[in-house]
Amino acid sequence: MNHTVLYDPEGILAETLPLDRGPHLALAGAVLAWGTAPAGLRAADCAQISLLLTGHARCVASDVRRRFETLPQDSELRLVTEAVLRESVRRLSVPSQNTVAHARNRARLVKALYRLIDQLDAVRPTVAP
């Protein structure tokens, strides 16, 4: 199987790709539903889950940032959006770890970012055709 790994540190490609919301929210929900670490879950599995959620959180945060820039200056969501973006930068600056707690942290972040996107979409003006 051949594949190409893309190096995109500026996130240019992420701007044009649609977010794969369903599977990532399902994964986040599953991670948050763990009472304790599920039987058979290895540290390497936790690390992979954390990396996946981290990468997706970065993409969603980038999308939130783009939407934030289009908000009117008097929008009530500006302060909330700024706070969530600051918190996402803080959380994403922590190196990925191979613990259940870290995977849960990333899952909560993904869910919070999607809640914010839903709020931003609710106030987005509709464009007439």
**Predicted confidence (pLDDT) per residue in 18-72, tens digit:** 678 999 999 999 999 987 777 888 889 999 999 999 999 999 999 999 889 888 8
- Does a structural domain hold residue 53? yes
Per-residue burial over 17-33, b = 16 or more CB atoms within 10 Å of its CB, e = otherwise: eeeeeeebeebbeebee
Cα–Cα distance, 41 to 22 (Å, whole number) = 23
- Does a structural domain hold residue 89? yes
- The residue range of the domain holding 48 is 20-32+40-122
- Does a structural domain hold residue 127? no
pLDDT at 51 (0 to 100): 92
Cα–Cα distance, 12 to 31 (Å, whole number) = 29
- Does a structural domain hold residue 65? yes
Question: Which residue has better confidence, 80 or 15?
Answer: 80
Is the confidence at residue 13, as pLDDT, over 80? no
Number of domains observed in the structure of the chain: 1
Per residue in 76-115, pLDDT (tens digit) is 899 999 999 999 999 999 998 889 999 999 999 999 999 9
Distance of CA 17 to the CA centre of its chain: 14
Q: Would you tell me the crossing angle of helices 21-33 and 43-69 to the nearest 10 degrees?
A: 130
Is the confidence at residue 14, as pLDDT, over 80? no
Q: What is the DSSP letter of 14?
A: G
